[in-house]
Amino acid sequence: MADHRGSPQGMDRRRFLGYVLAAPTLMAAAELGGSAVAPEAAAAIPTLPPPADLFDLNDLLSTAAVPTSALITVQVHSDGTASFALPRAEVGQGVTTSTAMLIAEELGLPVEKIKITLADSRPELLFNQLTAASNTTISTYTPIRVAAAIAKGRLLAAAAIVLGDTVTNLTSKLGVITGGGGKSVTYGELAQRAASTRTEQVSVTLKPRSEFTVIGKPHNRIDALDAVTGRKVFAMDLRIPNALPTMVCRPPTINGKVRSVLNAAAVRAMPGITDVVTISTGVAVRGRTFGQCVDAVRALRVDWGKGTAAGASDASVLRELKAAELPLVVPPLPLLAKTLDAGFTFAFRSNSALEPNCAIADVRRDRAEIWGSLKSPIVAQQAIAAKIGLPQNAVRVHVTEGGGSFGRKLFFDAALEAAEISRTLGKPVKLMWHRTDDFRQGRTHPMCTSRLRATYAAGNVLTFEHRHTSVSTDFGHGLGEIITALAAKLPVGDFTFSQTVFQLTQTMPYNFGVTTQLLNEVNKGFNTGSMRNIYSPDVCCARELFVDQLAAKMGKDPYKFRQEFARDHRARAVLDKVAKVGNWGRAMPAGMAQGIAVHAEYKGFSAALVEIDCRPATVNRKIPSARTGPRVTKVVFAVDAGLAVNPRGLEAQMLGGISDGIALALTSSLHLKDGYFLEGSWDNYFYTRQWNVPKDVEIIVMPPTTGQPGGAGEFGVAASYAAVACAYTRATGTLPTTFPVNHDGPLGFDPLPTVPPIPQSPTDGLRNAF
């Protein structure tokens, strides 16, 4: 949690309690408490701080993690290395690298000597093993440093005895402790001597920021070499004895159910196929190779029951959303003020990761083992145990590294499915979803609408209303354990959960007088999820487009308008930075324009300036098998995320977020027709490709104004998404009301992808889904 009240040193000079744990070699842990603070606000007609300014989702997750912080430990080994089992998921965001940097800083070891693994599911951690909301670095920043600092203190005390010196005379560097007389001893030689035979409480003072040599310095990822040489291990790379490739034939409509399988015996007799079995989500086939499984799935003839979205289309869902929109309560006041209204629609979008959804399961009569990339492994373990009828402690869940997530791996559907198949067959399985499975039956970002209204007079905004209406967002993972997971699925609990998350994530960067931001959700028939920032990208896009329109109505420049009404000096700072570096207001040819936007979340701030080319020659350029259209030619992005543990990693996250923002604004969406999504893979989902990325990108990491890291992982999406939308509006002179802008083909494109429709005959299976 960011500390805006005191010196930039934040908590550096505070003392912390922790433990030296009984272990053969040195092991140390932390004990913590926490607090939250609110930012400043000042304007002629100030806006009251929304709940997220006072206590946001990150504060909630960090506070929930505090009671079990003493259960995560740093261990020093006799070979001079240190290790840490991180109770979070690494899915490409770089948390293993930043964690190694935290330990290296306090322990005084090179980063290369820190071994970071991913912890198995540990139910005793309660809420402290959930990877979500850009919270990993925030919630683990102090506990990990405390544990490492305690370990170093024990090493120094042991070295003082070995070297016959006092601790104050000792110096340590890169794993070697040297005494006043020049004699030295290594951490490895001290690992056993520094260990304790009993658990004891100790206190420690953390290193001040002024002495940092690792934290805050750019560092390459510790797994980069393995990633580029193919040695990085994912779930499908594991060789579990007798775990054969397994796939599932899925229904032609969302969440359809199997009524009967018409040719199971014939498919079971196909080359390499060992098993064909009906499960709750479809028909599973197990074979010697994945290719043989694909052939078997294609050959299956299944009689399917209707799903939860039978007959639904974009148009029918939109009608339902429009009917559920909460009213705007401030009426037009023509004698007192002017009123501006706007409304926007945001299509379904895929939450697929680059790595296909997958898991390995080996379920026996009395025990089970699961392997997979899981961001909520505790609730996964608990749900799997309930599904297969075993005690929780008989199920062991191993967390593997994942190839992307953005919220997708909060859901453990592949692991649960693999466990069900393995239990039914009595055999280990290596389950992989086909890419099309995830696009059509996997998680999506829900379709939603935003309505906005503002009243303004005498150069001020008097009222601002934002009504966001969404297809229901599934928070069935809860806060990472079974109680909140079950509560989030209850008829009232799910709505309460959504409202809580919305209010704890949506802040307001502007002083717009009396401000209300409200959420309503409808229709639980879709498999939705917390895709990258949950509500924020669409809410931010709608708000920033509206701010541009409001500025125009009030006769003000979009940048200067934002600067004038910004509630926080940090918001103004990122705006000023991108405006200056990006040369805001420069003359551009007709059909090209700049856009600017700001986003505030998790006590951090970001701003983007983009330039877009919407000229016909660019929009209609021909590239084989490509969806081209307008091209963003330049992005300047400034991010203030508090203290950036690894600025290089933060820059990489912002670059990925910018590509997401461009896709959300211009090209990427799912089209719903007759109860299924038409898109089947990345080739027709039209995510940002090389021919649509800007050639000129500059990421600016602002100097930290606080001694603590802030949430940053998703900042790149919302601000860039909104800035692209604003730039497109200015370049074309048309305010789009549906996103992405080519969802309905306004640029002259064929609005629907060229994917053969799934046959609707109940006996035709899923033959065209591959």
Residue-level pLDDT at 21 = 67
pLDDT band, very low/low/confident/very high, at 34 (cuts 50, 70, 90): very low
β-sheet with 338-346: strand ranges across: 514-522, 460-471, 448-457, 338-346, 738-739
Q: Is residue 442 within 8 Å of 677, Cβ to Cβ?
A: no
Closest CA to 453 of 442, 461, 441: 461
Place of tokens 């799910």: 494
Options 3.90.380.10, 3.50.50.60, 3.30.70.3340, 3.30.365.10; CATH for 15-37+45-229 is: 3.30.365.10
Closest CA to 149 of 37, 11, 24: 11
pLDDT band, very low/low/confident/very high, at 14 (cuts 50, 70, 90): low
Find the range with the poorest average confidence among 216-225, 379-388, 493-502, 636-645.
493-502
* Rounded distance between C-alpha atoms, residue 651 and residue 20, angstroms: 36
| The residue type at 73 | T
Highest averaged pLDDT of the listed ranges 196-205, 530-539, 653-662, 759-768: 653-662
Q: Is residue 154 within 8 Å of 204, Cβ to Cβ?
A: no
* Rounded distance between C-alpha atoms, residue 417 and residue 281, angstroms: 8
Pairing verdict, β 200-205 and 15-20: antiparallel
Q: What percentage of the chain has pLDDT greater than the value 90?
A: 80
The 3-state DSSP class for residue 353 equals coil
* Helices and strands (H and E) in the chain: how many: 21, 31
pLDDT band, very low/low/confident/very high, at 72 (cuts 50, 70, 90): confident
β-sheet with 592-601: strand ranges across: 592-601, 604-613, 631-640, 696-701
Question: 229: phi > 0 → left, psi -120 to 50 → alpha, else beta; which?
Answer: alpha
Closest CA to 697 of 659, 737, 735: 659
CATH number of 235-308+357-432: 3.30.365.10
* Rounded distance between C-alpha atoms, residue 463 and residue 513, angstroms: 5
* Rounded distance between C-alpha atoms, residue 519 and residue 18, angstroms: 42
* Rounded distance between C-alpha atoms, residue 177 and residue 174, angstroms: 9
Cα–Cα distance list, 255 to 72, 306, 357, 499, 553 (Å) = 39, 8, 17, 25, 47
Residue-level pLDDT at 35 = 41
CA 674: distance to chain centroid? 30
* CA angle, 472 then 474 then 477, to 5°: 165
| The residue type at 183 | K
Q: Is residue 421 within 8 Å of 435, Cβ to Cβ?
A: no
Write down the H helix ranges in 127-205.
136-163, 187-190
Residue-level pLDDT at 755 = 37
Sequence-separated (6 or more) residues with CB below 8 Å from residue 769: 250, 252, 434, 436, 437, 440, 680, 758
75 pLDDT exceeds 60? yes
Q: What percentage of the chain has pLDDT greater than the value 70?
A: 92
Query: To the nearest whole number, what is the mean pLDDT of the chain?
Result: 90
Q: How many CA atoms lie within 13 A of 331 on its CB side?
A: 3
| The residue type at 719 | A
pLDDT band, very low/low/confident/very high, at 756 (cuts 50, 70, 90): very low
pLDDT tens readout for residues 551-582: 999 999 999 999 999 999 999 999 999 999 99
pLDDT tens readout for residues 714-749: 678 999 999 999 999 999 999 999 999 988 753 333
How many beta carbons lie within 10 A of that of residue 318, not counting itself? Answer: 17
Closest CA to 729 of 623, 597, 607: 597
Place of tokens 């991180």: 86
CA 446: distance to chain centroid? 15
Q: Give the 3-state DSSP-derived string for 477-523, with helices as H, strands as E and coil as C.
A: CCCCCHHHHHHCCCCCHHHHHHHHHHHHHCCCCECCCEEEEEEEEEC
Enter the tokens of residue 758: 């799934």
| The residue type at 666 | L
Sign, CA torsion 717/719/723/726 = positive
Q: Which residues of 281-298 are buried (b: 16+ CB within 10 A; e: fewer)?
A: bbbbbbbeebebbbbbbe
Terminal alpha carbon distance of the chain: 46
768 pLDDT exceeds 90? no
The 3-state DSSP class for residue 524 equals coil
pLDDT band, very low/low/confident/very high, at 411 (cuts 50, 70, 90): very high
Torsion, Cα of 109, 111, 113, 118 (10° steps): 120
* Rounded distance between C-alpha atoms, residue 574 and residue 551, angstroms: 19
769 pLDDT exceeds 80? no
Q: Where in the chain is the domain with CATH 3.30.365.10?
A: 15-37+45-229, 235-308+357-432, 315-349+443-739
Q: Is residue 263 within 8 Å of 300, Cβ to Cβ?
A: yes
Q: Is residue 519 within 8 Å of 539, Cβ to Cβ?
A: no
DSSP codes, 409-435: GG--HHHHHHHHHHHHHTS-EEEE--H
Sequence-separated (6 or more) residues with CB below 8 Å from residue 280: 257, 420
pTM listed for this prediction? 0.92
Cα–Cα distance list, 57 to 493, 496, 501 (Å) = 17, 14, 7
What's the mean pLDDT in 472-499?
87
Enter the tokens of residue 505: 């994530």
For residue 698, the surrounding DSSP H or E stretch is strand 696-701
Enter the tokens of residue 563: 């600067």
pLDDT tens readout for residues 582-592: 999 999 999 99
Q: Is residue 254 within 8 Å of 281, Cβ to Cβ?
A: no
Q: Is residue 501 within 8 Å of 284, Cβ to Cβ?
A: no
pLDDT tens readout for residues 110-140: 999 999 999 999 999 999 999 998 899 999 9
* Rounded distance between C-alpha atoms, residue 73 and residue 96, angstroms: 15
Residue-level pLDDT at 44 = 56
Residue-level pLDDT at 632 = 98
Sign, CA torsion 265/271/273/278 = negative
DSSP codes, 441-480: HS-EEPPEEEEEEEEEETTEEEEEEEEEEEEPP--TTTTS
CATH class of 315-349+443-739: alpha beta
